[in-house]
């Protein structure tokens, strides 16, 4: 993008809305507001659109939702004309798509790049937000809308001696734009989450040696990624609307075949055959093999037994199978979908380093020391995850009514009404984040649903002459309890994961996304709109 195309920066500007984040969510919100005749300024710290797909450029970065579904549906022309090449799109292809959308709907003229929002303060006298950026600006807006993503506040542990390490370090979540050369290098990768699982096998093909430092193993299933065939694309596009409607009716807003049968409805042979079918489908849909994998301990154990039998077929060394086998429920953490992850450990140039004991103790000038052993490394990669769900919100100093900050408000975990609104923070909308299905649904579909909901809400405010909207404390308490109830009903709250915030020291444990299902969630949102916001207080200042 040329500098001329970037939105002009005018200190002290006033808008109907300031939107934070130029990923799928913020871009769609901007599009909706513009269509409705509201003025908006979108601010993003990156130099271009894309959000998570702008930053996560590491080798192998790829979506785990099918590309024909991980895309906008608001424009029939867009979805008919865009050509996805693979079942699961790679980061470059998704970024190209988002750039195309921004260009096609002329969004960039209202986006201010290379600018980080540092603070936002609600003024109770004017009913407006003042949004402060790292460029020393103060943007004023009636509505403050966060589209900052669930996995966009990267975390990186610090180790003694890091400054003395003479090699290169990288972080998967803020990967450089320029290609990184691993040829002839000894590479250490810290972590075995989805990012490391995708990057490791590709780096191992190039590097002299790869050391994977694993503290807690993860379940990985094969993604079974492949090129899309012209026939299947034609088939979906012949009735894209109908295809989307079917996805919308499902629990996660994406379409995959889900068997409504218990593991125990089938004989052992039939059960194995069903698991085989779903292994061949691969990726997150593997969880659709039976309806009780995530809800019944014995069904979950049957799934683990099957998974283990497959991993034993892949990995030559049984000791490695033991080391790579998690001791928690299957699917409790987000299931990792990979290509060649377990196969990688049969290579002579890959070593799994179990760091469950004393861990990575320190960096040295020539590498790192883990579990009492010194490793010589040229390159160290942090694939160490995110302050998920809330971190991208709480790293901004947001101050609501009575001087209360979002950090104070969420000290014991996120409290929201429908995920979208926060009592005490009027005229603020927090999109596709804690308290809504977000990461458990298709993020793009969730972005559209929230964008439409906020758009209708702002229409209502304009039509009725109201200027301030705030969820009641009672509605927020009821919804927060419902989010907890739904989480408690699932095995997913049982283990440590970023879903519950346990990867961040001192963070209150709470299952952040709403796991009660997409259709009931959408129905609740629609009911709120239909009731003309009966669970909110609307006023005019
Ligand atoms: P992650 O799942 O949180 O994994 C972070 C890894 O770093 C864990 O293995 C963690 O070990 C390890 N770690 C952190 N600090 C460490 C330390 N001091 N010493 C040793 N190990 C350490 O993060 P992620 O891989 O970036 O994935 C996060 C989420 O992003 C995914 O679950 C997924 O939702 C999304 N994502 C999706 C895709 C995709 O679509 N395919 C790709 C990438 C990311 P512990 O478990 O022991 O803490």
pLDDT in tens, 459-469: 999 999 999 99
Q: Residue 2 pLDDT > 70, yes or no?
A: no
Confidence at residue 409, expressed as pLDDT on a 0 to 100 scale: 98
Length, in residues, of the chain: 541
Alpha helices in 436-492, H assignment, sequence order: 443-464, 473-488
pLDDT 10s digits, 428-441: 999 999 999 999 99
**Cα(297) to centroid(ligand 1), Å:** 25
Confidence at residue 257, expressed as pLDDT on a 0 to 100 scale: 87
**Cα(68) to centroid(ligand 1), Å:** 26
Q: Which residue has the tokens 């559209």?
A: 448
Of ligand 1's atoms, which has the minimum distance to the CA of residue 194? 25
For a ligand 1 pocket test, name from 53, 158, 162, 194 the mutation site with the most ligand atoms within 8 angstroms of its C-beta: 194
Q: Residue 179 pLDDT > 60, yes or no?
A: yes
Tokens read off for 364: 């040295």
User: Could you tell me which residues come within 8 angstroms of residue 523 by beta carbon, excluding any fewer than 6 positions away?
Assistant: none
Of ligand 1's atoms, which has the minimum distance to the CA of residue 61? 42
Among residues of the chain, what percentage have pLDDT more than 70?
A: 98
Confidence at residue 7, expressed as pLDDT on a 0 to 100 scale: 58
For CA atoms 330, 332, 337, 340, the dihedral sign is negative
492-511 mean pLDDT: 95
Does the Cβ of 156 fall within 6 Å of ligand 1?
no
6-12 mean pLDDT: 57
Pairwise CA distance, residues 95 & 271, whole Å: 40
79-95 mean pLDDT: 98
Question: For the whole model, what pTM was predicted?
Answer: 0.96
479-485 mean pLDDT: 98
**Which residue has a Cα nearest atom 17 of ligand 1?**
157
Confidence at residue 9, expressed as pLDDT on a 0 to 100 scale: 57
Q: Answer whether 137's CB lies under 8 Å from 33's CB.
A: no
Q: Count CB atoms within 10 A of the CB of residue 465.
A: 8
Tokens read off for 527: 């009911």
Q: Answer whether 425's CB lies under 8 Å from 394's CB.
A: no
Does the Cβ of 219 fall within 6 Å of ligand 1?
no
Of ligand 1's atoms, which has the minimum distance to the CA of residue 196? 25
Confidence at residue 21, expressed as pLDDT on a 0 to 100 scale: 98
User: Could you tell me which residues come within 8 angstroms of residue 301 by beta carbon, excluding any fewer than 6 positions away?
Assistant: none
**Which residue has a Cα nearest atom 3 of ligand 1?**
385
302-307 mean pLDDT: 98
Helix (H, G, I), strand (E, B) or coil at 163: helix
Confidence at residue 12, expressed as pLDDT on a 0 to 100 scale: 64
DSSP string of 335-396, one letter each residue: PEEESSHHHHTTSTTEEEEE-SSS-EEEEETTEEEETTEEEE-SEEEE---B-TTTHHHHTS
Confidence at residue 358, expressed as pLDDT on a 0 to 100 scale: 95
Q: Which residue has the tokens 């994977």?
A: 212
Q: Residue 119 pLDDT > 90, yes or no?
A: yes
**Long-range pairs, 179-182, Cβ under 8 A, ≥24:** 180/59, 180/379, 182/206, 182/207, 182/379
> Confidence class of residue 5 from pLDDT cuts 50, 70 and 90?
very low
Q: Count CB atoms within 10 A of the CB of residue 48.
A: 18
Supply the DSSP symbol for 443: H
For a ligand 1 pocket test, name from 24, 154, 173, 195 the mutation site with the most ligand atoms within 8 angstroms of its C-beta: 195
Q: Residue 4 pLDDT > 60, yes or no?
A: no
Confidence at residue 13, expressed as pLDDT on a 0 to 100 scale: 86
Q: How far is CA 81 from CA 228, 233, 237, 284, 446, in A?
A: 15, 11, 9, 27, 22
Helix (H) or strand (E) holding 129: strand 128-133
Q: Residue 6 pLDDT > 60, yes or no?
A: no
Q: Answer whether 169's CB lies under 8 Å from 161's CB.
A: no
> Confidence class of residue 492 from pLDDT cuts 50, 70 and 90?
confident
Does the Cβ of 352 fall within 6 Å of ligand 1?
no
Does the Cβ of 151 fall within 6 Å of ligand 1?
yes
Confidence at residue 167, expressed as pLDDT on a 0 to 100 scale: 98
> Confidence class of residue 189 from pLDDT cuts 50, 70 and 90?
very high
Confidence at residue 1, expressed as pLDDT on a 0 to 100 scale: 37
pLDDT 10s digits, 369-413: 999 999 999 999 999 999 999 999 999 999 999 999 999 999 999
**Which residue has a Cα nearest atom 43 of ligand 1?**
195
First to last CA, the chain: 40
449-472 mean pLDDT: 98
Per-residue b/e over 502-534, b at no fewer than 16 CB within 10 Å?
ebbeebeebbbbbbbbbeebbebbeebeeeebe
**102-111, 252-261, 525-534: least confident range:** 252-261
As a whole number, the mean pLDDT across the chain is 96
Confidence at residue 490, expressed as pLDDT on a 0 to 100 scale: 87
């Amino acid at each position: 993008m040329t500098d001329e195309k970037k939105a002009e920066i005018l200190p002290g500007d006033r808008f109907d809305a300031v939107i934070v984040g130029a990923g799928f969510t913020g871009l769609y919100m901007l599009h909706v507001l513009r269509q409705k005749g509201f003025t908006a300024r979108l601010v993003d710290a990156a130099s271009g659109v894309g959000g998570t797909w702008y930053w996560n450029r590491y080798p192998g970065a790829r979506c785990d939702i099918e590309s024909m579904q991980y895309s906008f549906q608001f424009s029939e022309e867009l979805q008919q004309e865009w050509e996805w090449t693979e079942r699961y799109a790679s980061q470059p292809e998704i970024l190209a798509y988002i750039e195309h959308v921004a260009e096609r709907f002329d969004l960039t003229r209202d986006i201010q790049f290379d600018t980080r929002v540092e603070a936002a303060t609600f003024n109770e006298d004017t009913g407006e937000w003042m949004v402060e950026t790292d460029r020393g600006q103060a943007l004023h807006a009636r509505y403050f809308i966060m589209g900052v993503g669930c996995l966009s506040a990267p975390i990186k542990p610090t180790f003694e001696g890091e400054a003395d390490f003479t090699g290169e370090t990288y972080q998967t979540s803020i990967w450089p734009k320029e290609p990184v050369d691993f040829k002839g290098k000894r590479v250490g990768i810290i972590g075995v989450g989805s990012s490391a699982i995708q990057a490791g096998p590709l780096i191992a093909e190039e590097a002299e040696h790869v050391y994977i430092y694993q503290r807690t193993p993860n379940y990985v299933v094969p993604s079974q990624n492949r090129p899309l065939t012209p026939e299947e694309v034609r088939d979906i596009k012949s009735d894209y609307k109908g295809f989307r409607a079917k996805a919308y009716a499902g629990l996660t807003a994406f379409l995959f075949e889900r068997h409504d049968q218990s593991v125990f409805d089938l004989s052992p042979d039939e059960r194995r055959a069903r698991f085989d079918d779903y292994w061949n489908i691969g990726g997150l849909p593997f969880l659709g093999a039976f309806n009780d994998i995530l809800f019944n301990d014995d069904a979950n154990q049957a799934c683990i037994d099957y998974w283990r039998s497959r991993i034993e077929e892949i990995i030559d060394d049984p000791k490695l199978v033991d080391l790579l086998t998690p001791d928690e429920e299957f699917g409790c953490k987000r299931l990792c979908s990979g290509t060649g992850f377990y196969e990688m450990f049969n290579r002579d140039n890959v070593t799994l380093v179990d760091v469950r004991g004393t861990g990575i103790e320190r960096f040295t000038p020539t590498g790192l020391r883990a579990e009492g052993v010194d490793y010589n490394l040229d390159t160290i990669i942090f694939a160490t995850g995110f302050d998920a769900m809330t971190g991208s919100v709480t790293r901004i100093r947001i101050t609501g009514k009575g001087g209360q900050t979002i950090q104070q408000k969420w000290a014991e975990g996120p409290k929201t009404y429908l995920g979208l609104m926060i009592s005490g923070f009027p005229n603020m909308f927090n999109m596709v984040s804690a308290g809504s299905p977000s990461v458990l649904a298709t993020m793009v579909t969730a972005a559209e649903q929230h964008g439409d909901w906020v758009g209708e809400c702002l229409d209502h405010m304009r039509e009725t002459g109201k200027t301030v909207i705030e969820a009641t404390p009672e509605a927020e308490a009821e919804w927060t309890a419902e989010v907890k109830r739904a989480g408690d009903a699932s095995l997913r709250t049982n283990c440590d994961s970023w879903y519950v915030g346990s990867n961040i020291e001192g963070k209150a444990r709470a299952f952040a996304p709403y796991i009660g299902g997409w259709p009931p969630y959408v129905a609740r949102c629609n009911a709120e709109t239909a009731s003309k916001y009966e669970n909110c207080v609307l006023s005019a200042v």
